[in-house]
Structure formats: C-alpha cells, structure tokens
Chains A and B, each alone.
Chain A
Amino acid sequence: GAVVSQHPSWVICKSGTSVKIECRSLDFQATTMFWYRQFPKQSLMLMATSNEGSKATYEQGVEKDKFLINHASLTLSTLTVTSAHPEDSSFYICSALRRGTSGAYEQYFGPGTRLTVT
C-alpha cells in the first residue's frame, strides 16, 4: 500500500522560533499533497493544498506568510511554521494524493506531527 511519512513525529519549540515539518510519499509520486491541522477534540481542518512545482493554495483564514509550504519534488512537501506561538500548538497531518488502479484519486495520510510551542 501507499506509505506517507512525516518528520518529526513530535517537536517542542520556543515561542518565536520556526519549525519545519516534512511530508514524504515513500513509494509513489504525489503531485498534490495536503496539509491539515487538528486541535484537541476537533476535526481535521485543511490548511492548504501543496502542488509540486507551483505555489500552494491556502484555505481561507490561513496565513500564507506564517505557514510556508514548499513542494519541491514529487515525493516531498514541507510546512514551515514561522514565528511560532503557543496557539500554533496542534497536530499537523499531511496527506498525499495518489491515483488508484480504478482511476479514482485516494488520499494517504502521514502519521502526523505534534507541535508544542512553549
């Protein structure tokens, strides 16, 4: 099956610093990846769509200058949380889009990165 990895799995950082999270599709190429954020007891909220070789598409209310997305290759997208604040503490999950044998697109999720900003 399709495998998506994320690194790091958890990170603690100080307020004002930047944190980079990597999302990799290990056994398939993904021109499209998605970044989600999940706060405790809430559902996943889509932050942005990451497209290989082009700018990411951000959802309404997500600051593109704060959450920098780079999709430089077909197997890697990165999310950088700049000048992190405690309210950015959350569970960040990526997913990669893959076309199945039936022709339908399926999303495969990474294991998530738990960010705590102190």
Chain B
Amino acid sequence: RKEVEQDPGPFNVPEGATVAFNCTYSNSASQSFFWYRQDCRKEPKLLMSVYSSGNEDGRFTAQLNRASQYISLLIRDSKLSDSATYLCVVRDGGATNKLIFGTGTLLAVQP
C-alpha cells in the first residue's frame, strides 16, 4: 500500500464548477499535512497546509480526518488557471521532516 494515495484523475470540469480531491495516508503518526500544486514541468508549490479543524483560503477548503486518515481539498468556482496537478503531501511522523508525496491528481478546467 502506498503511503499517500490520491484519486487517480484526471478531472475535467467546466469553469465555475466545484471539484473535490481526496487523499488517504497510511502512517497514523503523521503530524502535518499539505496540498501542493504542480504545474507542468515545474516544481511543486505549497497551496495550503491542512489543519485538524479544517481551513479555508478563498475558494479552497481543506479538511482532515485523523481517525480515517483522510484529507480532502475542495475548489469552488473553478478557474482556468486552477488547471494543474494537485499533490497531497504528508510529513513523516518521525523527526526527519521528510515529506511524502502522493501521485497527484490532474485537474483540467475547461472553458
């Protein structure tokens, strides 16, 4: 089983749609969780951290369920510029600060 698993995608949605990505992680000792965005042939960039109470940043909402070891990202009112690969990332539970990346979900927002 992979340490971080995501929806396989790709997701093709029209502009203005709401889209949700899911992610599960296997290490119950993991402490920190993130969503990164990666554009084609570019490095990943932090989109938002995910907190236990859930958090929102504009059109983006992240949720964490520690009991189910499940993380989600909701994007409302999708824009063309949201087209990218979204990576679910978990920080290793030890003291190493290593990040474990999911395989990513490709989002294509259509005009």
B-binding residues in A (CB < 8 A): 32, 34, 42-46, 49, 57, 91, 93, 95, 97, 104-107, 109-112, 114
B residues within 8 A CB of A93? Answer: 43-44
Minimum distance in angstroms from A91 CB to a CB of chain B? 7
Contact across chains for A44 and B98 when beta carbons are under 8 A apart? no
Contact mask for chain B residues 57-72; partner A; CB cutoff 8 A; 1 contact, 0 none: 0000000000000000
Would you call the interface of chain A mostly helix, strand, loop, or mixed?
strand
Known: A34-B98, A49-B98. A110 touches B103 (CB 8 A): no
Known: A42-B103, A43-B103. A110 touches B43 (CB 8 A): yes
- The count of residues in chain B whose C-beta lies closer than 8 Å to any C-beta of chain A is 17
Q: How far is the CA of A111 from the CA of B87 in the complex (A)?
A: 16
Q: How far is the CA of A91 from the CA of B97 in the complex (A)?
A: 22
Contact across chains for A43 and B102 when beta carbons are under 8 A apart? yes
Minimum distance in angstroms from B27 CB to a CB of chain A? 14
Minimum distance in angstroms from B23 CB to a CB of chain A? 12
Contact across chains for B42 and A44 when beta carbons are under 8 A apart? no
Contact mask for chain B residues 34-60; partner A; CB cutoff 8 A; 1 contact, 0 none: 000000011111100000000000000
Closest A residue to B6 by CB, please name it. Answer: A43
Q: Which 6 A-B pairs have the closest CB atoms?
A: A109-B43, A43-B103, A43-B101, A44-B101, A112-B43, A105-B97
B residues within 8 A CB of A32? Answer: 97
A residues within 8 A CB of B44? Answer: 44, 93, 109
Minimum distance in angstroms from A104 CB to a CB of chain B? 8
Select which of B41, B42, B99, B103 is within 8 A of A107 by beta carbon: B99
